[in-house]
Structure 1
Amino acid sequence: MTTATTKSESEVLAVMNNLPAVDWSDLEAAADLTRGIAHTLGDDRELLAALVDRVPGVPELREKCECHALDDKIVIWDDQEKGLRIRLRLANTDQYERVHNHRYSFTAYLLYGTYFHTLYATDQPLDETADVTRFWPRVIREERTGDIITLHHQQLHTTITSPETVSLMIQSPAQKARAFMIRKSDGQVWWRLGAAEEDADRRAEIRMSDERFSHWRTKLVQLGVL
């Protein structure tokens, strides 16, 4: 099952090239601006479908589509000069808790599903010596379909999702070389690196296959996102 994409390439580019630049150094202003961008894209199924469907024909976007343990991602737009990388976050069924931050600040618009979301504080360095018992929950909340959140790249948090939760992510350019992660169940620490820091084996391991891309394209229609 697929949707009929009625927006032409020129129509898509007219919208996307007209998106405003975002200054992520002012997070409150960035949140207001990206909320509008999120609604422009996420509320227009024809536009969103056209953006997804053009990805296989744009190598620089297709190479950024990845599969990870907890979620997959389809990058639909990348304009670093405007401070905009836009992607779909596609949650897998298997989930576990990892306290982490990000290399970038971001806004997330939940198009389907639920985040069970906890914000954490700690008093220790974020390195291999981190003690998993010294991350304290400060805010526990639930985000549902239609909610929009903005998070600073330094904020530590966990997100457990309902299966196949889909969110539209609008993220800043990278603010640091690596992001901290620690698994709550056993305290294992690791780092999420940017593509430029990953070797060829790692890039090949996480690259989304054509079959997986097709699976998500169909699933997005079934979920009513497209």
Structure 2
Amino acid sequence: MIGELTKPLHNLNWDDTPAVEAATSNVLATLADDGDLLRRLAHLVPQDEHLSRLSEHYDILDKLVLHDDPAGWRLRLHVFLPGHFDRPHNHRWTYSSRILRGSYQHTLYGLDDILDEGMEVAALQPYMVRTETAGDSYTLHHRMIHAAVAEPHTVTLIVRGPALKDGFLVSDRDTGKAWWQYGAAKESRNEAEKKRMSQARVNQVLSDLAEQGII
């Protein structure tokens, strides 16, 4: 369904931020503008056991996986729920984002060579603070430390590149603690099941997105 549109994402160097931005910008813009295509992709999720099992629900965030490509990248819809907050962290992968609805305050702290479990979290220096709103897009390298605090029901469309490392570090400015988190390959079965989105939740997310006019 999106094969021709996403051809530029194949054989892409996901460590090259400008190249990722150039390749993903048209994909995200097209999907943001083509409600019918986005709707068809979203409504395939409950019919696809693999995509359903990849989709995740947390108390403050839903992640709906619309496409899992053999080349290693994924297309996701993120829905930020009431009470959402974020902690400074890096990522295992470079990604591009397009805000479809709502907004969030986005803070950049610099590269992750300063990240460590014993770091002084309160000493993290914000180098850029901006508000991302509907229609905005950006690409973030996996080594960048950032945090996002979203308005309830903010919706973003994400192209997430292949994982380029095993883990990422999350820090909490309130408690001063920092800890490593890892991808599915290193998770226990219980951990994976806890965050897996139920079919009922998938259907609820789709219903909410339709009501908001996103799909």
Task: Give the TM-score normalised by structure 1.
Answer: 0.88
- The CA deviation at 1:62 is 1.1
Question: Contact 1:97–1:184 at 8 Å: present in 2 too?
Answer: no
- The answer as to 2:112 corresponding to 1:126 is no
2:201 is aligned, of 209, 212, 215, to 212
Kindly tell me: are residues 124 and 170 of structure 1, through their superposed partners in 2, closer, same or farther at Cα, counting changes over 3 Å? closer
Distance 1:24 1:47 in 2: 25
- The answer as to 2:166 corresponding to 1:177 is yes
Residue-by-residue CA offset, 1:183-214 (whole Å, 9 max, x unaligned): 11112222332111111100110011122111
Question: Contact 1:97–1:185 at 8 Å: present in 2 too?
Answer: no
Secondary structure, aligned partner of 2:149: strand
Corresponding residue for 1:10? none
1:85 is aligned, of 74, 77, 96, to 74
Corresponding residue for 1:153? 142
Corresponding residue for 2:176? 187
Corresponding residue for 1:71? 61
- The answer as to 2:46 corresponding to 1:56 is yes
Corresponding residue for 1:9? none
Residue-by-residue CA offset, 1:50-91 (whole Å, 9 max, x unaligned): 11111122222111000124311000011142x531000110
Backbone CA RMSD of aligned residues: 1.7
Of residues 125-134 and 105-114 in structure 1, the stretch that sits farther from structure 2 once superposed is: 125-134
Of residues 35-44 and 119-128 in structure 1, the stretch that sits farther from structure 2 once superposed is: 119-128
Letter in 1 for 2:75: I
Distance 2:16 2:190 in 1: 37
